[in-house]
Each structure stands twice: as C-alpha cells, then as structure tokens.
Amino acid sequence: MSAQVQIFTSTNPAAGGMRLDSRESCLRAAQMMVGHRQDAGLTAAFARSMEHRIAKVYAAEFAQYRAHEFFPTSTEIDPGAMGFTYQMIERMGNAQVINGGNSRDLPQISLGGEETQLPVITLGASYGFSIIEEKSASMAGIAIETELAKGTREAIEALEEQIWCQGYAGTGIAGVINAPGVYTLPQLSTGTWQTQIASIASATTSNATPPAVVVAQAIAADLASMKQAIAIGTLSRQSATNCLLPTNLYQMLDFIPQSPAFNSKTLLTFLEEVTGLDIDEWNILMNAGTKAGSPLSLAGGTAQNTVVVVYDKDPDVVQLMQAQSFMQLAPQMAGLQYMIPCFSRLGGVMAIRPRGLVTMFGV
C-alpha cells in the first residue's frame, strides 16, 4: 500500500500540516479524523461543465406585419421626393330636355379638377457592434450582424405598420382608418361582440331561440351594414370584398361552432358565407380605435379599442404609398465600432375613392 505525502515549503505558520483556511477545509479535516475517506469514488468537475447547451439560439417573435398583404401598394413615388400630388377630374354639368328645333339651347358639359398634395416622411434606425463583440458573439454561435439587421428591419416595419393603419399625427400622413372621406358607421348590434359571443355559453335545450343563432345574426347585421354603406356611398361602383378584424375578435369567431349537433362550421365560416367577404385578422386593429370595445379574451379583461374594416380591395380605392422600402447603408467604422444606418420612406395612405372603405369602432 502506498501513500502520498505532501511537503509544505511555505513560511506560513501552518506549514507542515493541512491548511484550514476555509470552512470546507475544516469540514474535510473533521471528516478524515473520524475515518471518512475522500480519495476514491468521486469525480472532480465544475458545475457548468455538467450542463448541456442547446445548439439552436432562439429569437423573440413579434406580430406579423401584413399591411402590404391586405392593401395594394404603390412604389411610383421617387425615393428622393419630399411629397407627392395626385389629381382628380370630374364631370360638371348635366343634360336637359331641350327644344328640338333650337340647337342653341344645348347645356354645356365641362370638366373640373382637384389636386391633393401629401408629404413623404422618412423612418430611420441604426444598429452597431464592435469588432470584439462580433468575435465574442461568434464564439457563442450567434451571427450578431445578421440578427441586429433583422431586428432593425423589424423595428422600422413595425412603425410602418402603425402608420399604414393610423397615420402619423402632426405630419399630414393619414392611415387606412382615418383617411379623409372614410366612413365610420355606428354599431347595429347591442353590446360588444365579445359579450354577445360569450352569451352562447348559456345555451340550454329549453331556449326558444338558440343564442348562437341570435349572435350570428347580430354580427352579420353589423358587417352587412358596412358592406351596404360601400354600395350606397359609391352608387354601386365599388363592392366590398374584404373584411379585417382585430385578432381577438377573429379568434373568438374562428373557434365558436355554429351548431355542434348539425355541422362542424364556426361562426367565422358562417359570416364569410353570408356576407361574401374574405375575412382575415390584422393584429394592429385590436387597439387602434378611439372607442372601447371587446377585451382580449372571451373570459373578459381590459377593453380594447377595437376597429373593424370592410373595403373593396381595389387600387382605385386605397393604396399604400411606399417611396423607399427598408434599406441599410454601408457600415461606418469609428475605431473598433461599426455603425450601420437604416431607413425607409413612405407617404402614408392615398385614399382615392374613400367611400370604398368603411370602419366600425368599439365592437
């Protein structure tokens, strides 16, 4: 049997014996005095070395930016323009019953014209990193330049989405829901849509009128009134084709069944069939209005300023005016630090025939 002998050459007063300069050392010494051995059966390791690190690095996700999916987009504006103008002409004068023998009695028809001027604004952001940060991120398996560029683009697109919907106060930039000439209709049904949909849970076999039927009819009436307003306001030149709902209302309608005993369709399916509208969700509409409406869930909660939009998806009704989509410039280096400027330019919404779009707030 062999034994290891440690020789202390330090000038420490404890030289020649075991060091007891920590609580752990004292504890080990006490254990050894009663015959407790620690020279076998143990593995020395750092706690961090026993962890397994997942190779994939996950990124936080935000709402999808879908304005360009819902509305026609014009890129006609020059990226350097400070504003743009569109012109509208209209017929002036009407025909009349005349004396057939007197050709000098003909009423004259002429043209009138109007110009509308709108500004173009610039949205900007930047990202930066040092050479050391780039190398450190590489050690961690993160492509820092790619991720920062992606995050900066998302930040600019988030502001664009807000402007496409609500405009930007103080700049003369209008959004879809507040463009000049856009109608806002009062709600026909009673109570918020969430209140009406939640009442379906009280259905019993003894109900003379099943709540699901009543709710579906009431909500359909709201959408029908919006669709009719477009036909009347445009003298049937425009016909409503699309409907955008805030996400909370869309989800409520998308999983509540019409009648589980007879079919598997939801209230959303029913509304699309009855109204003939292509119904989709636009997350930003949940809190874009000026009137309190449905909360986030059927269970209740804080009321959101919900907005419903019905429109004709026609470039002659509404267009999103994009002068310059997201662009990042060449990196600018100062010392060991990179800085990359990014920007986009837009002119808000051009509502050429605004009667082809209507809104309803606080449903």
The model's pLDDT over 18-41, given as tens digits with 9 standing for 90+, comes to: 555 566 666 666 666 666 565 555
For residue 313, what pLDDT is reported? 96
Predicted model pTM: 0.80
Three-class SS state of 251: helix
Number of helices (H), then strands (E), belonging to the chain: the values are: 8, 14
What are the domain boundaries of the chain? 67-91+113-174+319-351, 183-316+353-361
The model's pLDDT over 166-212, given as tens digits with 9 standing for 90+, comes to: 999 889 999 999 999 999 999 999 999 999 998 887 766 566 556 77
For residue 15, what pLDDT is reported? 47
CATH 3.30.2400.30 fits 67-91+113-174+319-351, yes or no: yes
Residue type, 338: Y
Share of the chain above pLDDT 70, in %: 83
251-268 average pLDDT score: 79
Exposure of 291 by Cβ count < 10 A (0-12 exposed, 13-18 middle, 19+ buried)?
middle
Q: What is the DSSP string of 73-131?
A: EE--S-TT-SEEEEEEEEEE-------TT-GGGPPP-EEEEEEEEEE-EEEEEEEEEEH
57-86 average pLDDT score: 89
CATH of domain 183-316+353-361: 3.30.2320.10
C-alpha 196/C-alpha 185 separation (Å) is 19
Exposure of 34 by Cβ count < 10 A (0-12 exposed, 13-18 middle, 19+ buried)?
exposed
